[in-house]
Amino acid sequence: MAKKVYVNFNDPRMDALMEEYLIRNPHLLDKKTKRNAYEKLQKKSKTQPLTQEELQFIKFFEEEIEADRIEAENKKAEAQHKQKIELQNPKNEVLPKPNVQQNTSVFSIQSKSYEKIGEAAKNSLIISTILLLLFMLWKLLKYKKQSKNK
C-alpha cells in the first residue's frame, strides 16, 4: 500500500530539493512557491551560472506571468465591453466582441501535445489489440489444422 509523504518546502534543509522539484515539475505547484523559487534563481544567477533546467524554469515562469497578464487584460477588456454594451444597448442587441489577444502559453502548448500523445496511445492500443487477435486466430487455426492431421 502506498504511503503518503508530506514535504515542508519552508524547511531550510529542503532548499535544494525544492529547487530541483520546481524545475522539473513547475506546473504542479502553486504560484507563491513558484515565485519564491524564481526569486531565488534570480539571486543565484547574479553570483553563479545557472543550469539549463534552471534557465528553462525561469523562461517557463516568465511565460506564465505573461500569460496571466494577457488574461487579466482580456478580462478587463471584456468587462469594459460589457459595461459599454449595458450603457449603449439596453435592448440586448448583439454587438461585436472586443479585441482579445490569443494566449499561447506553455500550458496551451503542453495540453495540445498531451492530446496528441493520448491520441497516439489510443491508436497504439487499438493496433496492438488487433495484432493480438490476429495472432490468437492464427494459433487457433494452426491448432485446428494439427488436430485434423492426427
pLDDT in tens, 51-92: 888 888 888 888 888 888 898 899 998 988 888 877 776 665
Which residues of the chain are modeled with pLDDT < 70?
Answer: 1-23, 25-29, 89-112
All three cell numbers of 5, joined, read 509523504
Query: Residue 140: its pLDDT value, please?
Result: 93
Query: Residue 65: its pLDDT value, please?
Result: 84
All three cell numbers of 136, joined, read 490468437
CA 136, CA 138: separation in Å to the nearest integer? 5
**Sequence-ordered strand ranges (E) for the chain:** none
Q: How many CA atoms lie within 13 A of 69 on its CB side?
A: 6
Residues 6 or more apart in contact with residue 65 via CB below 8 angstroms: none
Domain boundaries defined on the chain: 10-92, 107-150
- The mean predicted confidence, pLDDT, of the chain is 77
